Structure 1
Amino acid sequence: MPPESTPASIHLSAQSSFLPAIQAWEQYLQDQARSLYTIKAFTGDLELFASYLPPDRTLGAVTTRDINHFLQWLQTGRKVPCSPKSLARRVTSLKAFFRWLTKYGVLLVDPAEKVLQQTVISPLPQVLTVEEQAKVLEIANRYRTAKKPDARPYTLTALLLASGIKKGECLGIHQNHIDLDTPDGPVLFIRYPEPHNRYKERKINLPGEWVGAYHEYLAQYQPTSQVFAWSPRRLEYILEDLGSAAGLSKHLSFDMCRWTCALNDYRTGTEADQIRQKLGISKIQWREIGLKLRKLAENEADSPPAV
């Protein structure tokens, strides 16, 4: 007996065409509280696959060979380039779609089950060396003691290097998310308004030396609730300008600070699961990130010492 049908798949059968199946799949993903980006990407991949097949091809008529030919066409037969990362996502989309159809009894056999998953590891990210971090924070400190003091560059950059938070998380920080009076020192609470992102919420310890700059920043800019009440691009400019002032050849960014923070923790022997939780990522995401951190640390060990 097939499992009980979901509301999204109840009107589908092996003789159904792709259009109602993709619409039902989209509804199912929405019911699962998947992100808008995921839903758009997955349904777009299925629409592309459907357009590749003959117009009268039904769900039950799709074979493993059809899927493999489609993937080969994406790589060599289509005029639009398909990156390894996009190819891997499209394999994931097809596998998830046909697994859903099989699970709920629309299909008896999953044609995507034997399709090989494409594993893609993107290039290693750029990180700051220990010396570069010290230089960046030194320049940021100079702004704090300038004739016209500005604690914003230091408050922002030191927070990113200590916490490893993403740009969106940084923008979402409100003053009541920072507790300076806990017995174990200052902490930052990362909160998400969306229910499906609640698993990313976490508490991150902050260095005590950051607190002084934070108080200066509050006094200078007097934010009402949101700590960094600026546009994303404005905050990016602050990092870019700071990197230039520090003489970096690298492009200082939120992502670079996030990876640098993770590598700092990795260097000091912090347990892998603690780093994963601090970054707010899943165990599946950690597989690739953990490999990259290990490679970054190995590359650092192989590099000649700075003169």
Structure 2
Amino acid sequence: MDIRGQIDAWLARLANERKASPHTIEAYRRDLAKLLRYMQTQQLPSFDALIPHRMRGFIAAEHRGGLSPKSLQRLLSSCRSLFRQLTREGLLTHDPLAGVHGPKVHRKLPQVLDVDEATALVEGEGGEALNLRDRAMLELFYSSGLRLSELIGLCWMDLDLEAGEVRVLGKGRKTRIVPVGRHAMAALCAWGEFEGREPNSPVFRGRHGAPISPRAVQARMKTLALRQGFAKHVHPHLLRHTFASHMLESSGDLRAVQELLGHADIATTQIYTHLDFQHLAKVYDAAHPRAKKRGVERSEK
């Protein structure tokens, strides 16, 4: 089997055995296409011909070509995953990425809403059908920290309105149970009474009874934010960030927030500790009599 065939076989295995999403498969395919082009340019017939020195050259070339540090790290991750599988199958006898590291990624802190902004956004106004649906969607986003794909994939049978829980299918096709707050419960009940609660029917339907599309949710949130005069860019993941930040700020329990968000790696959740520190630092600067000058210094940075 040639190198392209080995990549195709690995991607098929990811899709069939590990149930990776089409989006994940396509991201791997794009990354590994870069590696294939490099190997063809260097006239390397097999993955065994790759050595750390060549891989450093490959990464450096992609960097010079304009690939961002974050994209380079993802490219390295894709290559590592492929190489591990080839090693397990006995098709690779060494690690081509031994000692190879990408550039350090400056992790940008996500923007969040404060409590008043979040409340104003999710409560909206009016009792018409569209407003009932919007209220239920936004309350559920903020109440339970769902991803957009998780929300649009919900059916009524996934909601336990008596227990206040929702079962969601997250990344890697992993299922988790997430609590639903009382305001979200009330909004979902109101929407369910209007819409009907057929167990196999999507909670939020678009045209022809299919689940509402991601674009429709994004466009609706943008419209609602503009109507209320929000200066921030409002999108579904903003409410997930806001949920995580507010939960961590109130509880201080990083592990619990990790479970609620469905993060496989707690390092992904730890970014919200930086947001929490920023909040504490602002409180300190505003309240401590010896911190006034320090607060000015912070604002200048």
| TM-score, length-scaled by structure 1 | 0.78
> What SS class does the counterpart of residue 236 from structure 1 fall into?
helix
> Residue 144 of structure 2 aligns with which residue?
163
1:95 positional shift: 2.2
Of stretches 51-60 and 127-136 in structure 1, the one that deviates more from structure 2 is 51-60
> Residue 188 of structure 1 aligns with which residue?
166
> Residue 282 of structure 1 aligns with which residue?
264
Distance in 2, matches of 1:222 and 1:85, equals 44
Distance in 1, matches of 2:136 and 2:16, equals 40
Distance in 1, matches of 2:13 and 2:217, equals 37
Q: 1:130 to 1:70 in 2, by over 3 A?
A: same
> Residue 229 of structure 1 aligns with which residue?
205
> Residue 268 of structure 1 aligns with which residue?
250
> Residue 294 of structure 2 aligns with which residue?
none
Runs of 5+ unmatched residues, structure 2: 207-211, 287-301
1:27 positional shift: 4.0
> Residue 154 of structure 1 aligns with which residue?
135
In the alignment, is residue 143 of structure 1 matched against residue 117 of structure 2?
no
| TM-score, length-scaled by structure 2 | 0.79
> Residue 4 of structure 1 aligns with which residue?
none
> Is the 1:155–1:217 Cα contact (8 Å) retained in structure 2?
yes
Aligned counterpart for 1:116 among listed residues 77, 101, 104: 101
1:237 positional shift: 2.8
1:192-220, Cα deviation, whole Å (9 max, x unpaired):
7x9x51x2x12222222333333322333
In the alignment, is residue 92 of structure 1 matched against residue 74 of structure 2?
no
Q: Higher helix fraction: Structure 1 or Structure 2?
A: 2
> What SS class does the counterpart of residue 203 from structure 2 fall into?
coil
> Residue 8 of structure 1 aligns with which residue?
none
Q: 1:215 to 1:101 in 2, by over 3 A?
A: closer
Sequence identity percentage: 23
1:70-121, Cα deviation, whole Å (9 max, x unpaired):
1111111x3xx21112111111122222333333333332222221255535
In the alignment, is residue 209 of structure 1 matched against residue 187 of structure 2?
no
> What SS class does the counterpart of residue 116 from structure 1 fall into?
coil
RMSD of the TM alignment (CA)? 2.7
1:31 positional shift: 4.7
Q: 1:207 to 1:47 in 2, by over 3 A?
A: closer
Distance in 2, matches of 1:149 and 1:169, equals 20
Instruction: Say how many residue pairs are matched.
Output: 273
1:201-260, Cα deviation, whole Å (9 max, x unpaired):
122222223333333223334464211113333322332222223321012221000010
Of stretches 237-246 and 115-124 in structure 1, the one that deviates more from structure 2 is 115-124
1:298 positional shift: 1.7
Q: 1:154 to 1:20 in 2, by over 3 A?
A: closer
